[in-house]
Amino acid sequence: MKKNYFFLIIFLLGLSLIGCKKSSSDPVDLAAKAIGTYSGTFSANGGNPSSCSTEITQQSSSVTVKLLADGNLIFNVPNTTVSDGGGGKVTLRNDTYLFTGTVDGKSLDYYLSTAHFVGTKP
């Protein structure tokens, strides 16, 4: 009888430890992984790529994406949602601006309608 209680206690302890594991899809943690400045190229409507940078800043559980060329703001996409994209990637999305992208903390790839940016952190 005591042996059964021992296994029951071990089983319940194991379940409690599993329940304490922090989710890797926490939006605040995912947003923190995406922040930074990425240097790369931006092309609109299939045109010639231009050198520029994208700055991602965190607003609690969402991010703001800013495209900058020569230090000048080209566009700003606020309230961009973040989600777990799998494989260590974070998916970025803002349907109002037709914005979708992925970031892994080192490289960034996104579309803004028909425009495309690819870049990396220096």
What structural domains and CATH numbers belong to the chain? 27-120 (2.40.128)
pLDDT attached to residue 3: 58
pLDDT attached to residue 105: 86
Note whether 6 and 91 are within 8 A (CB): no
Helix (H) / strand (E) element for 78: namely strand 72-86
pLDDT attached to residue 15: 47
Other beta carbons within 10 angstroms of residue 116's beta carbon come to: 18
pLDDT attached to residue 46: 83
Below-50 pLDDT ranges, the chain: 15, 20-23
Q: What is the 3-state secondary structure (H, E, C) of 10-65?
A: HHHHHHHHHHCCCCCCCHHHHHHHHCEEEEEEEECCCCCCEEEEEEEEEECCEEEE
How many residues are there in the chain? 122
